[in-house]
Chain A
Amino acid sequence: MMKYKFLQALCMMLILFCSCGKGLITQSNPDSVTPAQLYTSEGDVLLALNGCYNLMRNNNAMGEESDLYTDQRSDDTGTNDNQSNGGQPFQFNNYSIDPTNIYLEDHWSAMYQGIAQCNSVLSGISQVAFTDSLRGQYTAEAEFLRAMLLFDMVREWGDIPMATTPLTTLGQIQAATFRVPQVQVYQQIIADLVNASKGGLPVVQPAGNRGHASLQAVNFLLGQVYLTRFATLDGGNSGAAPNADLDSANYYLTACYNERTFTSLSSINYTDVFNVNDKATCPENILQIVFIQGDINYHSNIAADAQANGYYTNSKKPNSGVGDNVTHDLVYEYETNDPRAAFSITYDSNATVKDWFISKYRDTSAAAGPNGYGGNDWILMRYADVILMLAEVNMYQGNTAQAIAYIDMVRTRAGLPTYEVSSTTDPVYMQKFPTLKLAILHERRSELAFEHHRLFDLLRFFNINDLMTYMHSKSQANFGLAQIANFTTKDEYFPIPYSEYILNPTKMPQNPGY
Chain B
Amino acid sequence: MTRKLQRHFTVWGLLLLLLCIGQRSVAQSIRLDLNQTDLAKVVAVLQQQAPAVNFSFSQEELEKVRVDHVQVKAAKLQEALEILQIKYGLHYLMTDGKNVTLKYVPVPAPATGSEPGSRKIEGVIADDNGQPVIGATIHVKGTNYSTVTNERGGYSIMVMPGTQLEVSSIGYNTENVTAKGNSPLDIRMHPGSNVLNEVVFIGYQRMRKSDFTGAIASVKADELNVSAPTAGQALVGKVAGVVVSQTDGSPYASPKIRVRGVGSFNAATDPLYVIDGYPVGNDLYINPSDIESIDILKDAASAAIYGSRASGGVVLITTKRGKESKGKLEYDFQYGDDELAHKVKLLNGPQFAQLVVDGRNDSYKDLVQNQGLVWNDAMYSDNNATRVARVGNGASVSIPPELYNFAGQTVIKPQYNTDWQDQLFRQVGYVKHNLMFSGGTKTMRYMLSGAYQDQAGILLNTSQTRVNFRGNVDGDINDKTKVGASISYTGNNNHETQEGRWDHSPVFGALIYMPVFPAYNPNGSVATYLADAESAQYGYQSIENPIATAERTQISRQGNRGTYNAFATYELIPHLIFKANLGLQTYAEKYNYYLPSSLSSGTNPPYSAQAVAAAFAQTQNINQKDELGEFTATYSKEFGAHHLDLLAGYSVQYDNIDAVNITVRGFQNDLIPQIVAGGLGDATVNVTSGNNQGTLPTENITTTLESYFGRVQYNYAGKYYLAGSLRTDGSSRFGADNKWGTFPSVSAGWNISKEPFYKGWLEDNTTLRLRASWGLSGNNNIGDYKSVQVFNAPTGTVFGSGTSGSAATAYQLGNVADGRLGWESTSQYNIGADLGLFHDRISLIANYYDSRTFNLLVNDPISAVSGSTSILTNLRNSRIQNKGFDFQVDAKVVRTNKFNLNIAGNISINRNKVLSMGSLGPIISDGAERQYITHITEQGQPIGMFYGYKVAGMVRAKDTANIDIDNRYYNASTQSFPKGYVLKGPPRSTAQTNPLRPGDLYFKDVNGDGVVNSKDLSIIGSPYPKFTYGFNLSANYGPVDLSASFAGSYGNQVLDGQDYYLFNMEGSGNQYSVVADRYRSESQPGNGHVYRASRAGTQSNSTRLSTFYLQDGSFFRCTNIGLGYNLPSFVALHKAGVDAIRVFASMNNAFTITKYKGYNPEVDYNYSVNGSSASNLTPGVDYGVYPLVRSFDMGVHIIF
Q: Which residues of A contact B (CB under 8 A)?
A: 2, 5-6, 9, 13, 16-17, 20-21, 24-35, 38, 44, 47-48, 50-51, 53-55, 57, 80, 82-83, 85-88, 94, 96, 98, 100, 102, 105, 108-109, 111-113, 115-117, 119-120, 161-163, 166-170, 172-174, 176-177, 205, 207-212, 277, 279-281, 288-293, 295-298, 309, 317-318, 320-322, 351-355, 369-371, 375, 377, 477, 480-483, 485-488, 499-500, 502-503, 508
Contacts and interface: CB of A to CB of B under 8 A. Distances in A.
A47 B810 contact: yes
Q: Which of B392, B698, B810, B811: most chain A Cβ within 10 A?
A: B811
A51 B810 contact: yes
Given A351-B384, A487-B973, A112 B790 contact: no
A482 B393 CA distance: 13
Interface string B984-997: 00000011110000
Nearest to B1060: A86
Q: Top 5 closest A-B pairs, CB basis? A: A116-B867, A210-B800, A352-B394, A320-B536, A370-B609
Contact of B731 (A6, A25, A28): A25
Given A25-B732, A115-B867, A483-B972, A34 B789 contact: yes
Interface in B683-702: 683-684, 686, 698-702
B536 A321 contact: yes
Given A86-B931, A112-B864, A208 B801 contact: yes
Interface residues of B, number: 116
B604 interface: yes
Given A47-B809, A82-B1097, A295-B683, A28 B785 contact: yes
Interface string B780-801: 0000110011111111111111
B813 A116 contact: yes
B37 interface: no
A433 to B, nearest CB: 26
Contacts of B892: none
B112 interface: no
Contacts of B810: 47-48, 50-51, 53-54
B973 A486 contact: yes
A290 B799 contact: yes
B788 A34 contact: yes
A298 B805 contact: yes
Given A5-B572, A50-B811, A351-B388, A296 B683 contact: yes
Contacts of B736: 26
B492 interface: no
Nearest to B384: A351
Interface in B888-931: 921, 924, 929-931
Contact of B972 (A34, A208, A318, A486): A486
Nearest to B930: A85
Interface of B: 371, 384-385, 388-389, 392-395, 398, 535-537, 572-573, 576, 578, 602-604, 608-610, 613, 629, 631, 633, 650, 652, 654, 665-666, 681, 683-684, 686, 698-706, 730-732, 736, 739, 784-785, 788-814, 816, 818-819, 860-869, 871, 873, 921, 924, 929-933, 972-975, 990-993, 1013-1014, 1096-1097, 1101, 1103-1104
Given A352-B388, A481-B993, 17 more contacts: A13-B631, A25-B704, A29-B785, A32-B814, A48-B810, A50-B810, A100-B933, A209-B800, A279-B803, A290-B798, A292-B805, A296-B684, A351-B384, A352-B537, A353-B394, A480-B392, A485-B972
Contacts of A85: 930-931
Contacts of A26: 732, 736, 739
A112 B867 CA distance: 5
Nearest to B701: A29
Contacts of A488: 973-974
Contacts of A2: 573
Given A20-B652, A371-B613, A210 B799 contact: yes
B703 A27 contact: yes
Q: Which of B535, B788, B791, B1097: most chain A Cβ within 10 A?
A: B791
Main secondary structure on A side of the interface with B: loop
A497 to B, nearest CB: 8
A323 B450 CA distance: 60
Contacts of A55: 812
Nearest to A160: B865
Given A55-B812, A102-B931, A352-B395, A161 B865 contact: yes
Nearest to B631: A13
A289 B990 CA distance: 38
A508 B862 CA distance: 12
Contacts of B613: 296, 371
B41 to A, nearest CB: 31
A317 to B, nearest CB: 7
B802 A31 contact: no
A191 to B, nearest CB: 18
A280 B804 CA distance: 7
Nearest to B632: A13
12 contacts: A20-B629, A21-B706, A26-B736, A29-B784, A38-B811, A111-B864, A112-B866, A117-B813, A161-B864, A296-B665, A318-B603, A370-B609
A20 B924 CA distance: 45
A351 B398 contact: yes
B1095 to A, nearest CB: 9
B664 to A, nearest CB: 11
A27 B800 contact: no
Contacts of A35: 789-791, 813
A163 B865 contact: yes
B1097 A170 contact: no
B973 A170 contact: no
Contact of A47 (B681, B811, B933): B811
Given A35-B791, A94-B993, A290 B536 contact: no
B461 to A, nearest CB: 28
A10 B972 CA distance: 83
Nearest to A20: B652
A20 B791 CA distance: 31
Contact of B866 (A33, A163, A211, A317): A163
B865 A292 contact: no
B865 to A, nearest CB: 4
B891 to A, nearest CB: 48
A503 B866 CA distance: 13
Contacts of B681: 296
A25 B392 contact: no
Nearest to B990: A96
A14 B448 CA distance: 36
Nearest to A371: B613
A167 B861 contact: no
A2 B42 CA distance: 35
Given A112-B864, A317-B610, A354-B392, A298 B798 contact: yes
B807 A297 contact: yes
A374 to B, nearest CB: 12
A69 to B, nearest CB: 15
B704 A280 contact: no
B1054 to A, nearest CB: 20
Q: Which of B384, B609, B929, B990: most chain A Cβ within 10 A?
A: B609
Nearest to A350: B394
B645 to A, nearest CB: 18
A486 B398 contact: no
A292 B804 contact: yes
Contacts of B1104: 86
Nearest to A279: B803
Nearest to B740: A25
Nearest to A9: B572
Given A209-B799, A277-B803, A25 B862 contact: no
A211 to B, nearest CB: 4
Contacts of A209: 799-800
A25 B732 CA distance: 4
A371 B610 contact: yes
